[in-house]
Amino acid sequence: MYIVQIASECAPVSKVGGLADVVYGISRELEMRGNVLEIILPKYDCMRYDHIWGLHIEYQDLWVPWGNGAIHCSVWSGSVHGRKCFFIEPHSNDNFFNRDRYYGFPDDAMRFAFFSKAALEFLIKADKHPDIIHCHDWQTGLIPVLLYEMYKFQELSHPRVCYTIHNFRFQGITGTDILSATQLNKPEYYHHHERLKDNTHPTALNFMKGGIVYSNFVTTVSPKHAFEARHTDQGYGLGDTLHIHQDKFGGILNGIDYEQWNPEIDPLIPSHYTMATLDNKYGNKEALRDRLMIRKEFKPIIAYVGRLDSQKGVHLIRHALFYALDKGAQFVLLGSSPETSINNDFLQIKQELNENQDCHLEIGFNEELARLLYAGADMIVMPSMYEPCGLAQIIALRYGTVPIVRAVGGLADTIFDRDFSDKAITARNGYVFQEADYKGIESAMQRAIGLWYDYPEQFHKLVLQGMQYNYSWQHSGQHYLNVYEKIRKK
Ligand code: GLC
């Protein structure tokens, strides 16, 4: 099959969050299975150019019809760790992608509407005829709309679209001016409940809704989250739309790359280990303590790695830190927030705890330290408010670190409580709590810390049970192929 992924991020060249890892991971898996795969991305100024090999202009003069005229673009291509990527570079005074960061501008909706249209124009001009177009999140929600309303009358007569939603909170809600810019026009047609009209703001259009309505199949990144998006407020207003389109909606759990995340060979950790040599994991705990100047005492280390935003349950992360210290554990945190106020809160806690030798907060992101944390910690906490899939808990299992998670979305689909679960005792792999309150997280942490101190051999067993799990792309890759096959035949 010939598959084109269109997205706003791809790891490691343009990464803000898990979306980037997924776009790369799924592409690699599908290619290994013998499919032809290409990825179309914006050419951001702020990308990691050191991760692109052989970058060159592939297509010189792409004119993308826009508003009353057209915008001139160059399309570059290069290889990102083996994946063939195209990068669209518009030349206009809008400077859509020549900025110091990926998102967070008042014209974000325009920027990605333009990117979506340019990606389709490029496919036509370069005479590409993919069997499947797979697009992701609100940024590319207009792709199926443009395709079915505009481009199917041109050369792109029958590609099928799979649309994956990684985060329902950001939907691309915007004004109707986007219709004249993209030349879709006809506001009375598009600004209609059955098409792009936002379900909550009556004057607005919604890209993600368009993506749902017009795609051949819609997925989100775990089965549990597919349920939550339809039946709870986690659909952020799109529950009704999903309900109408339920026959083409489902959840497919993300994977991680089991070669890239492998404690046996990970070049960024000092002490390698497997299930058979688990004792060597301790070398990483010592290295982590040396690096972060945490004292060497007989105590478990609990970690948090990831973005610090309200989705992740910042108040519970903060509480976990103090609770851990109180219960005789050590705590390390690595993460940062797009919101300055949250960053400042954690910087203040860092200052308050400056003298405390049982904890360390690192506000920022550093891949090498992240890996040392996964390898060196005994447990990680993920008290998310909502979590479409979550990757950190899967990485933690792989590195023999016990996840303590809230039972939402992908966390509930991947982690099974040691004491209370429907799973067989030997298939349990962590600690799970239900309510997003202090009592909830305390109950889970208390049980985890207690097991570590009082029943070390049981804790060891729990670690091994987690390492036995295989949440690699192999499984998810097959699920996506099934979806592709299904919609291709229609
Ligand atoms: C988003 C979600 C996260 C998911 C990731 C990749 O970042 O918040 O839960 O793992 O996308 O799909």
Residue nearest to atom 10 of ligand 1 (CA): 390
Tokens 């692109």 identify what position? 52
Q: What spacing in Å lies between the alpha carbon of 197 and ligand 1's midpoint?
A: 25
Atom of ligand 1 nearest to the CA of 311: 8
d(CA 329, CA 326): 7
Atom of ligand 1 nearest to the CA of 17: 7
Q: What is the DSSP string of 398-435?
A: HTT-EEEEESSHHHHHH--BSSS-SS-GGG--BEEE-S
Q: Are strands 69-80 and 205-206 parallel, antiparallel or unpaired?
A: unpaired
Atom of ligand 1 nearest to the CA of 19: 6
pLDDT of residue 158: 76
Contact criterion met (CB below 8 Å) for 165 and 249: no
Q: Best mutation site among 163, 221, 385, 406 for ligand 1, i.e. most ligand atoms within 8 A of its Cβ?
A: 221
Instruction: For residue 385, give both structure tokens.
Output: 């408010």
Q: Is 208 exposed, middle or buried (0-12, 13-18, 19+ CB in 10 A)?
A: buried
- Residue 206 belongs to what H/E stretch? strand 205-206
CATH topology of domain 278-471: Rossmann fold (3.40.50)
Residue nearest to atom 7 of ligand 1 (CA): 18
Q: What spacing in Å lies between the alpha carbon of 199 and ligand 1's midpoint?
A: 23
Count of CB atoms situated within 10 Å of the CB of 162: 25
d(CA 146, CA 120): 8
Domain ranges of the chain: 2-255+474-488, 278-471
Q: In this structure, what is the dihedral angle of CA atoms 350, 353, 355, 358, given to the nearest 10 degrees? A: -100
Count of CB atoms situated within 10 Å of the CB of 382: 26
Domains 2-255+474-488 and 278-471 share a fold: yes
Q: Best mutation site among 254, 393, 480 for ligand 1, i.e. most ligand atoms within 8 A of its Cβ?
A: 254
List, for residues 62-111, the tens digit of each pLDDT value: 999 999 999 999 999 999 999 999 999 999 999 999 999 999 999 999 99
SS3 at position 89: strand
Beta strands in 92-157 (DSSP E): 132-136
DSSP letter, residue 100: S
Q: What spacing in Å lies between the alpha carbon of 141 and ligand 1's midpoint?
A: 17
Q: What spacing in Å lies between the alpha carbon of 64 and ligand 1's midpoint?
A: 31
pLDDT of residue 54: 98
Q: What spacing in Å lies between the alpha carbon of 454 and ligand 1's midpoint?
A: 35
pLDDT of residue 152: 79
Contact criterion met (CB below 8 Å) for 226 and 251: yes
Q: Which residues pair with 76 in a beta bridge?
A: 57, 87
What residues are in contact with ligand 1 under a 6 Å CB criterion? 17-19, 22, 166-167, 221, 254, 387-391, 410
Instruction: Calculate the alpha carbon distances from 110 to 76, 103, 191, 214, 262 in Å.
Output: 21, 12, 17, 19, 40
Residue nearest to atom 5 of ligand 1 (CA): 18
Which residue blocks in 275-426 are alpha helix, DSSP H? Answer: 281-292, 314-326, 340-352, 367-376, 392-398, 409-414
Tokens 């904890």 identify what position? 359
SS3 at position 438: helix
d(CA 26, CA 87): 19
pLDDT of residue 234: 97
Q: Best mutation site among 8, 9, 19, 171 for ligand 1, i.e. most ligand atoms within 8 A of its Cβ?
A: 19
d(CA 250, CA 212): 12
Q: Best mutation site among 163, 391, 415, 473 for ligand 1, i.e. most ligand atoms within 8 A of its Cβ?
A: 391
- Residue 69 belongs to what H/E stretch? strand 69-80
Q: What spacing in Å lies between the alpha carbon of 445 and ligand 1's midpoint?
A: 24
Q: What spacing in Å lies between the alpha carbon of 428 and ligand 1's midpoint?
A: 23
From first CA to last CA, the distance across the chain in angstroms is 15
Of 207, 252, 215, 244, nearest to 389 by C-alpha is 252
What φ, ψ does residue 35 adopt, rounded to 5°? -90, 160
Q: What spacing in Å lies between the alpha carbon of 165 and ligand 1's midpoint?
A: 9
List, for residues 209-236, the tens digit of each pLDDT value: 999 999 999 999 999 999 999 999 999 9
Give the chain's residues under pLDDT 70.
Answer: none
Contact criterion met (CB below 8 Å) for 138 and 198: no
Atom of ligand 1 nearest to the CA of 410: 9
pLDDT of residue 489: 82
Who contacts 29 (Cβ-Cβ below 8 Å, separation ≥6)? 255, 473, 474, 476, 477
Q: What spacing in Å lies between the alpha carbon of 187 and ligand 1's midpoint?
A: 33
Q: What spacing in Å lies between the alpha carbon of 376 and ligand 1's midpoint?
A: 24
Q: What spacing in Å lies between the alpha carbon of 69 and ligand 1's midpoint?
A: 37
Apex 94 CA angle, 92 and 98, nearest 5: 90
Atom of ligand 1 nearest to the CA of 391: 10
pLDDT of residue 101: 93
CATH topology of domain 2-255+474-488: Rossmann fold (3.40.50)
